[in-house]
Structure 1
């Protein structure tokens, strides 16, 4: 089941393998949906997005890529990642290992 928070109604997430809590040394797989919204955060781990449907824009380190179904993009650890779907995007996301247990931060959500 895709979950959403009331303060982020157009952003849904479902963690498939496990929740990204604390320290982990494997990969975490999740599915995300964005509907006319954007999301920004900083992770202590790498994040790779593989687009299944729609169009997703990904910005990090001053570079923006536009993903179409079948495309992927990676945001390196400790970098700000900004993700937005002008209309709709559904993607699978892979979080790399987080051996330090540091938490993600600097969350920003906006509706477009």
Structure 2
């Protein structure tokens, strides 16, 4: 049996496998052309006890936000710089780093970086804020 959608069959409480088909990365906002992404497992306004999952990329650009939950980034391709509370790390393909919740994370790719990000848990459902973007 092939499941082609995350929707469970009629009469079942949950499907045994959740499946999210591949989708193109799109600009997060029209005025942020070099910050593209997609939420695979979206965040939920009422909170979540597990995690949310996204894929995103920066192309010669920088991104900053404050988030109440942990954010872990795994670099699939390229080089990503991350700074939080005065500490900076440089991630290359295959590297991962976590910015602890309650901090502002600053992320930039001098050339290009493609990442998978895991957010959470966030049981209170508090939102990220203070978004900033700039081209490098």
TM-score when normalising by structure 1: 0.95
Shift, 1:21, TM fit: 3.3
1:2 partnered with 2:61: no
Q: CA RMSD in A?
A: 0.8
| Structure 1 segment 1-112 matched on structure 2, within 5 A | 1-4=24-27, 5-17=29-41, 19-22=42-45, 23-112=47-136
Count of residues paired in the alignment: 111
More RCO (CA 8 Å, sep 6+): 1
More strand as a share of residues? 1
Moved over 2 A (4+): none
Q: Render the CA deviation track for 1:45-91: whole Å, top value 9, x for unaligned.
A: 00000001000000011000000101111100010100000000001
Larger Rg over CA atoms: 2
Q: Which runs of 5+ in 2 are unaligned?
A: 1-23
